[in-house]
Amino acid sequence: MISYINTLYLIYGLLITLSYVVLALISARALYDYITLNKFVSYEALLSSSNAPPLSLIAPAYNEEKTIIENIRSLLSLHYNNLEIIIVNDGSKDQTFQKVLEAYSMKPVPFFLRTAVSCKPIRGIYKSTNPAYGKLLFVDKENGGKADALNAGINVSSFDIICCIDVDCIIEQDGLLKMVKPFMESKEPVIAVGGVVRIANSCEIEDGRLIKTHVPREIIPRFQVIEYLRAFLMGRMGWSRMNALLLISGALGMFDKKIAIAVGGYNHKTVGEDMELVVRMRRYMTENKKPYRVVYIPDPLCWTEAPSDYKILGRQRNRWMRGTMETLWAHRKIFFNPKYGILGWLSFPYWTFFEWMAPLVEATGLIYFLVLIGLGFDNWSLFILLSATVYFSSIAISFLALLFEELTYHQYQSKRETFLLVITAIIEPFLFHPRSAWWGVRGNIDKIRGQKSWGEMTRTGFVRPQKQ
Amino acid sequence: MGSTAIILQQRIPTWSDVWDLVHYTKFNLPGWASEPLLWICTSIIAISILFSVVLLIALYSYRFRTQYRLRRRRELEKSYLLLLTGIIFDEPEEGVEQSKAKLVRHFRNIYLDDSFNRKILRKQLLTLHRNFSGSACTILRNLYLELQLEKESLKKLKSPMVNKRIQAIRELSRMHVHAASDRIRKLTRHSNRLLRNEAQLAMLELDKENAFSFLDDNLQHLSEWDQMNLETTAHRTQGLVIPDFTKWFYEPNPSVVQFCIRMCVQNNQFEASDGLIKLLSSSEEKVVRQSIQALGELMIDDAVPSLISLYRKKQVAFGSDILKTLSKIGGDQVIRFLQNRYEEGNDQEAFEAASALKYTGEAGMMLLEKAGAHAANRSSLIAQHLLNPYLQP
């Protein structure tokens, strides 16, 4: 009996390793194609063309008084002509509302609201009296959570493509131009586009713009740099290539508004509203037998401040796990359902077995091993063999992600910083991964207990460049 | 067993020693699974370690190579810029021709024996060529030809790598190497979309008389992105002969039709109006939408009855576009229709109709102002929204 359980754990470890290798290979090809072929793309035509699709950028804000002014200024400096920027104040309890009104000379306007998706009541809509901020629309509403705020933004938006972002992210100046391109170049309709999110801790930011990138000085965000590189450059690129991507990060995603409205907008009842919306949109298109694509682009378009203490990071990961569980459960019909094609046969099973179950398997594996020790059946040799297999393969995969970054975007330019990342990749499986698995397990426990909150996320703010 | 032997003999362990060590260790796996699983695990460990070392070497060697090339590139760019701007701006004492010949000799003797140097020079020439106009461009083009850099571009045109071919097309078209026209024309129907579009854009530069011949019997998809690039480049290209785009209105490829409709608008081809009205009954949604928009841009009065009739039939699909187009055309019939939709339609329709009314001119504005002055009903809320000076698009 014990030997069979051992075999199961070993096979699971091997399968997960194999899946990473396959994804890495597919991503490598996708990245190569993207980089070589997009080297010659000029976005000038898009900037000047009257045929460039107009965009509505929606950024919900909740208790952002410390950074909201600078964040809006950063959004106003984005390179895109036909753009409206909608800031949704989701019933902030601090001075967010007052600060925006004062800083941007906002006045209430009589707005005829057409409710396409449900959201909490809107208290007022404001426009700036200063023509320099003509693109800006400020919505004040009752608190209802991020999904609800995004739905309010959808209701007031004027254009057919919406870009939903986290207000505290820094979007690259040409980020919107790059994200709009897939909507225009694909023969099949593109329903959603995602961009790579990078860690901005220790990077130099001035006037809401990224001046210089650095590897985070603190170890916790540095672990996340490795994690994000693996997830974005190696994972999502591969899924996108197979048109099997289930998740577009809530920090930056562009959507076809008509489809988003047709499926009812963001779901208020989940804490993983970003993944849930993409899955629902994909499901809608498949069920209505419409061809479509969900595209991911590897350019570093969005920079975000990662949690730098374990407590806040734990809350974030706990929420991500609950969001994953809620989405997988809500759309369980897709699971191994041939009607949904690659979604049913590959994406959904992968997320179920390797994203949701992986922390549980790791935790039960550890408990099982401890029980065996207690019963005098300890098997150190198998434990070491399995751990070594997973450890060395995970290091190889992290190094591959670092090489991908070096060959493509080369964001970290000093040799010292690259060395720091190499060392971080070596120690990450010991110092970070066990905690990450534990947060996943806690997410499962909290979900079973009925926990629905987001958990408070505090940020320390970005680094300013030193004055000469 | 293996490890004891190694210790006793004091030698470096071989792969078979490692395998022996793993093989004789008790893993408590079922007999049938033991051998293959152990083999797989040890192989993964060995491959991962080896692979990690290779990756690290690759990472650092790539870093050193990139930094070295970057340094070299900067130095070269500096020298090239000095030489090239010298010949463009300075008045040479010994005459332009002698000075140019001297420069060509200088480049040949010092720089052009190395492919990296040539690559940087080509890039530099192209960048300067794009930023200058008139005689400066001619000087740069002549230099490109005299240094026979076009030969390398023509060679790259045969490369199996799409990105190299794209680069070659761009170089040849920017430098107006007409000798490459026929070869580039063949690529306008290539299966790779990016290469195809680059070739189509190049034809606008290289064959101004017959630049749009790639539209004939073209069955390959022209994406919105391709169309926008073609449209922008056509707009910027001087001396381009503009054909009658209506001749492609009945092509089987809807993306070609869509592009031709756009080009009719860009070139004010009012004679396309009958064709555009006919295209309103096309089965292709994108063609119908493009035709609706074109009728508005060209302000074709005759299209009003057809547009209103289409609105009644297919309001869900094209309603918003039709209302916008009607607002551009204007007239009594349009105002009556828009007023009706403003009062009778659902919220979205009423808003769009009122928004269209606003742009029909004075009569439409007066209607909105009148509605806005009334008590708080839907029409008045819409009117107040649309007339608010801060909510202008």
A306/A308 Cα distance (integer angstroms): 6
B68 touches chain A (CB under 8 A): no
Cα torsion for B164, B165, B166, B169, to the nearest 10°?
A: 130
Find the angle CA(B285)-CA(B290)-CA(B296) to the nearest 5 degrees.
130
Q: B229 CB near a chain A CB, below 8 Å?
A: yes
Q: Which residue of A has its CA nearest to B346?
A: A114
Cα B121 to Cα A378: distance, rounded to the nearest angstrom: 68
- Closest-CA distance, B56 to chain A, in angstroms, reads 7
**CB-based contact B62 A403, cutoff 8 Å:** yes
Residue of chain B minimizing CA distance to A54: B393
- Say yes or no for a CB contact (<8 Å) between A40 and B163: yes
Nearest to A129 among B38, B198, B390 (CB): B390
Residues of B in contact with A127 (CB under 8 A): 388, 390-391
Q: Which of A352, A430, A342 is nearest to A12 (CA)?
A: A352
**Separation of alpha carbons A329 and A167, rounded Å:** 29
User: How many inter-chain contacts (A to B, CB under 8 Å) are there?
Assistant: 155
B59–A402: do the CB atoms touch at under 8 Å?
yes
B57 and A CB contact within 8 Å: no
**Residues from chain A contacting residue B392 (CB–CB below 8 Å):** 134
- Is B48 within 8 Å of A382 when comparing Cβ atoms? no
Q: Looking at chain A, which residue has its C-alpha nearest residue B56?
A: A399
B49, B55, B232 ranked by CB distance to A403: nearest: B55
B167 with A40: Cβ contact below 8 A: yes
Among B25, B198, B231, whose Cβ lies nearest the Cβ of A381? B25
d(CA A104, CA A1): 69
All residues of chain B having their beta carbon less than 8 Å from the beta carbon of residue A14 are 37, 40-41, 44
What's the CA gap between A140 and A156, in Å, rounded? 11
Q: CB distance A107–B51 less than 8 Å?
A: no
The residue length of chain A stands at 468
pLDDT tens for chain B, 393 residues long, are: 444 444 455 566 666 766 666 666 666 666 666 777 788 888 999 999 999 999 999 999 999 999 999 999 999 999 888 888 887 776 666 666 677 777 777 777 777 778 888 889 999 999 999 888 888 888 889 889 988 899 999 999 999 999 999 999 999 999 999 999 999 999 999 999 999 999 999 999 999 999 999 999 888 999 999 999 999 999 989 899 999 999 999 999 999 999 999 999 999 999 999 999 999 999 999 999 999 999 999 999 999 999 999 999 876 778 999 999 999 999 889 999 999 999 888 898 999 999 999 999 888 888 888 887 776 788 888 999 998 888 876
Query: A366 vs chain B: nearest CA distance in angstroms?
Result: 16
Report residue A256: phi and psi, to 5°.
-75, 115
- Where b means 16+ CB within 10 Å and e means fewer, A55-86 reads bbbbbbbbbbbbbbbbbbebbbebebebbbbb
Q: Is the Cβ–Cβ distance between B100 and B87 less than 8 Å?
A: yes
Write out residues 157-176 of B within 8 Å (CB-CB) of A: 161-163, 166-167, 170
Residue B389 buriedness (CB in 10 A; 0-12 / 13-18 / 19+):
exposed
- Chain A residues whose CB is inside 8 A of the B52 CB are 392, 395-396, 399
Look at A418 and B225 and tell me if their CB atoms are within 8 Å: no
Q: Do B44 and A392 touch (CB under 8 A)?
A: yes
Per-residue DSSP letter, A236: I
Distance, in Å, from the CA atom of A157 to the CA atom of A161, rounded to the nearest integer, reads: 9
Mutation for A interface: B20, B22, B28, most A CBs within 10 A:
B28
Enumerate residue ranges in chain A where pLDDT < 70: 454-468
ipTM of the shown complex: 0.87
Beta strand A136-141 with A122-128 is antiparallel
Residue A136's SS3 state is strand
Q: Is B101 on the interface with A (CB under 8 A)?
A: no
For testing contact with chain A, the best of B32, B55, B159 (most A CBs within 10 A): B55
Q: What is the pLDDT of residues A405-458, one digit of tens each?
A: 999 988 888 889 999 999 999 999 999 999 999 999 999 999 999 887 766 666
8 Å CB contact of B63 and A418: yes
Residues 196..215 of B with a Cβ closer than 8 Å to A: which?
198
Q: How close, in Å, is residue B232 to chain A by CA atoms?
A: 6
Round to whole Å and give the CA distance between B23 and B1.
10
B17: tokens are: 């020693």
Q: Residue B60: its chain A contacts at CB < 8 A?
A: 415, 418
Distance CA B76, CA B82 (A): 10
Asked if A307 contacts A241 with a C-beta cutoff of 8 angstroms, the reply is: no
Angle between helix A273-287 and helix A146-156 axes, rounded to 10 deg: 50
Dihedral sign for Cα atoms in the order A168, A171, A177, A180: negative
**3-class DSSP assignment, residue A192:** strand
To test the contact with chain A by mutation, choose from B224, B378, B379 the residue with the greatest count of A C-beta atoms within 10 A, namely B224
For residue A199, give the H/E element and its range: strand A190-199
| A122: chain B residues, CB-CB within 8 Å | none
CB contact under 8 A, B38 and A128: no
* DSSP assigned state of A159: S
> Does B277 contact A at CB distance below 8 Å?
no
Q: Which residues of B touch A101 (CB under 8 A)?
A: none
Q: What is the 3-state secondary structure (H, E, C) of chain B?
A: CHHHHHHHHCCCCCHHHHHHHHHHCCCCCCHHHHHHHHHHHHHHHHHHHHHHHHHHHHHHHHHHHHHHHHHHHHHHHHHHHHHHHHHHHCCCCCCHHHHHHHHHHHHHHHCCCCHHHHHHHHHHHHHHHHHCCCHHHHHHHHHHHHCCHHHHHHHHCCCCCHHHHHHHHHHHHHCCCHHHHHHHHHHCCCCCHHHHHHHHHHHHHHCCCCHHHHHCCCCCCCCHHHHHHHHHHHHHCCCCCCCCHHHHCCCCCHHHHHHHHHHHHHCCCHHHHHHHHHHCCCCCHHHHHHHHHHHHHCCCHHHHHHHHHHHHHCHHHHHHHHHHHHHHHCCHHHHHHHHHHHHHCCHHHHHHHHHHHHCCCHHHHHHHHHHHHCCCCHHHHHHHHHHCHHHCC
Q: Are A110 and B384 in contact (CB < 8 Å)?
A: yes
pLDDT in tens, A119-176: 999 999 999 999 999 999 999 999 999 999 999 999 999 999 999 999 989 999 999 9
User: Chain B residue closest to A9 (CA)?
Assistant: B29
Q: What is the pLDDT of residue B98?
A: 72
Q: Which of A38, A161, A399 to mutate to test the interface with B (most CBs of B within 10 A)?
A: A399
Place of tokens 């460049």: A465
B55 touches chain A (CB under 8 A): yes
The verdict on a CB contact (< 8 Å) between A403 and B25 is no
Strands lying side by side in the sheet with A170-171? A106-108, A122-128, A136-141, A83-90, A55-61, A161-165, A252-256, A190-199, A293-304, A170-171
Contact (CB, 8 A) for A72 and A82: no
The whole-number pLDDT of residue A208 equals 79
Nearest CB to B52; choose among A111, A381, A399: A399
Per the CB < 8 Å rule, is B226 touching A185?
Answer: yes
Asked whether B318 and B289 are in contact (CB, 8 A), the reply is: yes
Give the torsion sign (CA, B172, B173, B178, B184).
positive
Q: Does B70 touch chain A (CB under 8 A)?
A: no
Strand A106-108 relative to strand A83-90, pairing: unpaired
Q: Would you call A214 helix, strand, or coil by DSSP? A: coil
Distance, CA of B150 to CA of B122 (rounded, Å): 9
Distance from CA of B292 to the nearest CA of A (A): 15
In Å, how far is A428's CA from the nearest CA of chain B?
15
